[in-house]
Structure 1
């Protein structure tokens, strides 16, 4: 069993027995979160990455995954115990009260070809957040195009390729018992959000939620606009950004004229930045960095599909834009990222609501 501590405020990275993980100092009011994983190996074991909201909290490999080249697939076994692994992460109750979804990502898919029987897959058997138990049948397995099979029982939630994600959404009552929520709100200090890691070139954050596959994908390109949209709808328990509370003061000579840039045309179920939005985003970032402006980045999704999944996807899209702005020189503490959740306000077609707005929120 791997045990790590997770707090949005402070972190240190270590590596133990080939498994990278994120370790945080102890604090009061922490909750154990345990994931039971299994897997099929081919030319190496399957690798996983676990996130709370958009923050990575653990990653590693299922070293005891069954070797499909010598022992065949897991489906031939009635007992998977020898090929299971438990990963335990300790999460601060103040962070759990935000009721963001957990997600498990499969990151190193490999296949030997049709008829070979050689395959590398990851299975999420179960998750337990404090006293809340989540069986695989209550998870949502998502793909970049459409929901995949959501197997129950010993097979777990099957992740068969690098775009597969198992999403564990909080129950309607939240991750914490009501009594603990009240205690956490009253007595726990506000955690400062950790700054996100810079995206690697050519990559974008993975989507955490799904809009239905039958929704038409947008044509190549995107729309940008300079009109200010109405205030986002208030969505209960909408995931909040990892961005920290803004404390930086703009330069007294800053000339931050109010402006809103709208970026639409995001691909279905994805957070890849539309190519023709990049010049406008780069120009806005350069001006904001030069003048010391603060920006508010708000992500949206269409209303099609499960609400909690769409809220998470809206947040991931906003993060993708924020990461691009930071890569262009905008200070992390000058950006606030929020999720506007699912909406119809930009038009009747879903493609018009797969959008991110960037607003200059303060001026001279």
Structure 2
């Protein structure tokens, strides 16, 4: 069975060492030698090398310095340092920066050096295999996300038609004509539309590149309240916005963040409560926007507070998709924002958000 051909580059300013190395290992490996770092760099530019050996003490540049100089241009080859003396500081520096796989003292032991090269090549293969698998997984994940996005769009078309038919039935005063059936159709359609919207939000949040544009929080909050409160006219909004400073940010993600939190504040009010209230406070300064969204709803159990931002988490009273707060957290991560939550079952829930001003 053929063994893979391992390409090894050895750089040393002493020709005798280069000849000795080639004589010892030419049968096991494809050997390339260089008398200087400059010659070694030329070989790297033309040949795909798997393992690099370099002498520490060379004129003009040390082995550690050479390895550091090729960290970004040639990150894949595994590095082995050969040294005839113990320079602890240089070795510690090289290891700490991840520039060498291991070091071997000169004169080397052939068996030790052979094993080191073999193990270094195994590390090289593992690195390349991992990268290929990650690339394959990323491609598969991207294809799956695009498929989900496409399907979600396709589902919306017939769903909008169904919701349109329900509205026509209402306009013709036939909504109550078939008992609870039209109501069930409307409820199921709204729930499906909600799931589709959250799926599209999740996809867009992952794919959309941040663009910083001017944001007027008064206008944005008013539009979001109108959008999410159309089905619940009982909830009262108290809005206080202090924006004397211009604010620049990612309007798509800020809409996603505020929209999900306002929607939740409405959705999780106490059933039958007569004083449903949501307080929104926003203060903008040159560095950031500080946002607080509070409700007097049903609150969140203490043991759930650390879990509410995880994907698909649902409490017993949560009838949503389990994606809303996860999307909020992901969107904040994309724009370097922060979020904190406090809650009391009797008093309600408060979310505090900080978003950097990108101006």
Query: TM-score normalised to the size of structure 1?
Result: 0.24
Query: TM-score normalised to the size of structure 2?
Result: 0.24
In terms of Rg, which structure is larger?
Answer: 2
Q: Which has the higher helix share?
A: 2
Greater RCO, 1 or 2 (C-alpha within 8 Å, sep 6+): 1
